[in-house]
Amino acid sequence: MPGDQDNKAAGDEPRPVILLAGAAHGIGRAMALQARQRGARLAICDIDQAGLQALTSELAMGEDALLLPVDITQAGSVADFVTAALARFGRIDAAICNAGGMISLVHDGLVTSNIRAFKDIPPADWKSIVDLNLYGALNLAHAVLPGMLSRGQGRIVFVSSVSGLVGGAGLSVYAAAKGGVIAFAKSLAREVSAAGVSVNSVAPGGVATRAFPAGSPSAERRVQSVAIGRLGLPDEIANVAIYLATDAPPYLTGEVISVSGGPP
Ligand SMILES: NC(=O)c1ccc[n+]([C@@H]2O[C@H](COP(=O)([O-])OP(=O)(O)OC[C@H]3O[C@@H](n4cnc5c(N)ncnc54)[C@H](O)[C@@H]3O)[C@@H](O)[C@H]2O)c1
């Protein structure tokens, strides 16, 4: 298989191949760096080309990392990305769908917040929020599953949100999409776990990324409702996702793990 000569690191440890969608910033970037520390080979996509460029330099992994600009909402582009990853590495051990967000990303460097009362969100925006946060997960799972099922092993991890579990004022459409991801993951786990593929979700609470810029009123407000008294760090969420993608026992499937500084 292509890439099989790279399967073993020094000490004969197998090197996992992790596919990661949405890694140029924030939580996904922390996942990429943690995965590299673990010796994984990486297939990474993101919509932000400049951010990918910066990550490529930071990872400095050469042929062990494939980084491609892909819009997760486009099923055909996601399928092409998975094909390219399989051509490079021969297999995908784990796929993490982190691409998503409460913000409308990034047109000419502009980031706008989607935290708005439902009555103020026009239908056209419902679609873009659901496309990104729910269809993105469906697109990625649909593209990676055939290879995992034919090998009889694989791990799929979705990044949802505590708002998908308990709701969030100002987050109605986003929360609906993230709740959909959790229900999708649980359903998929029922379909494919016996065939060797685990499917789980991580549900972050408020995390200090550009979604909650340090010192901003939204960050200050969010902290008020966190038991531990601060926002989460990207590394704290990444740690759980990388665990699910690598070391978690196969018996852990169909779960959602909330990482939110206290009960959601
Ligand atoms: N930050 C939080 O408080 C928080 C809370 C709960 C859940 N989450 C979820 O965690 C994940 C990461 O959030 P973050 O705060 O690190 O956000 P972020 O905006 O810093 O990172 C999201 C990444 O996804 C990429 N992306 C966005 N749209 C894309 C698309 N169409 N195709 C491919 N890539 C795309 C972005 O370029 C970026 O690299 C998201 O799914 C978000 O919904 C975040």
Q: Is 71 in the pocket of ligand 1 (CB under 6 A)?
A: yes
Report the pLDDT value the prediction gives residue 216, as an integer from 0 to 100.
Answer: 83
Closest ligand 1 atom to Cα of 159: 41
Q: Is 168 in the pocket of ligand 1 (CB under 6 A)?
A: no
> What SS3 state is found at 186?
helix
The reply to whether 23 falls in a domain is yes
The reply to whether 93 falls in a domain is yes
DSSP conformational letter for 155: E
Contacting residues for 101 by C-beta, under 8 A, at least 6 apart: 114, 132, 133, 211
The reply to whether 94 falls in a domain is yes
Q: How confident is residue 68, by pLDDT bands cut at 50, 70 and 90?
A: very high
Beta bridge partners of 18: 42, 94
What's the gap in Å between 53 CA and the centre of ligand 1? 17
Q: Which of 30-34, 65-69, 84-88, 222-226 has the lowest mean pLDDT?
A: 222-226
Q: Is 26 in the pocket of ligand 1 (CB under 6 A)?
A: yes
* Ligand 1, atom 42, residue with closest C-alpha: 101
* Ligand 1, atom 36, residue with closest C-alpha: 22
Q: Which of 93-107, 189-203, 222-236 has the lowest mean pLDDT?
A: 93-107
Q: Is 212 in the pocket of ligand 1 (CB under 6 A)?
A: yes
Range of the domain at 176: 4-259
Give the pTM. Answer: 0.94
Q: Is 159 in the pocket of ligand 1 (CB under 6 A)?
A: yes
**Tell me: the pLDDT tens digits for 78-111?**
999 999 999 999 999 999 999 999 765 444 444 5
CATH at residue 245: 3.40.50.720
Amino acid occupying residue 27: I
Phi-psi region of 170 (alpha: psi -120 to 50; beta: other; left: phi over 0): left
Q: Which of 26-30, 137-141, 206-210, 214-218 has the lowest mean pLDDT?
A: 214-218
The reply to whether 36 falls in a domain is yes
Report the pLDDT value the prediction gives residue 91, as an integer from 0 to 100.
Answer: 98
The reply to whether 264 falls in a domain is no
The reply to whether 64 falls in a domain is yes
Ligand 1 mutation target, pool 25, 70, 80, 223, most atoms within 8 A of CB: 25
Q: Which helix (H) or strand (E) holds 62?
A: none
Closest ligand 1 atom to Cα of 24: 39
Phi-psi region of 108 (alpha: psi -120 to 50; beta: other; left: phi over 0): left
Contact 112, 158 (CB under 8 A): no
Q: What is the mean pLDDT of the chain?
A: 91
Residue range 27-55: average pLDDT?
A: 97
Q: How far apart are CA 76 and CA 13, in angstroms?
A: 34
The length of the chain is 264
Residue 174 annotated in active site: yes
Contacting residues for 63 by C-beta, under 8 A, at least 6 apart: 6, 88
- Report the domain count for the chain: 1
Tokens encoding 216: 């901003």
Tokens encoding 175: 């929360």
Q: Is 101 in the pocket of ligand 1 (CB under 6 A)?
A: yes
What's the gap in Å between 98 CA and the centre of ligand 1? 6
Report the pLDDT value the prediction gives residue 213, as an integer from 0 to 100.
Answer: 83
Q: How far apart are CA 92 and CA 77, in angstroms?
A: 17
Is the predicted pLDDT of residue 9 greater than 90, yes or no?
no
Is the predicted pLDDT of residue 131 greater than 80, yes or no?
yes
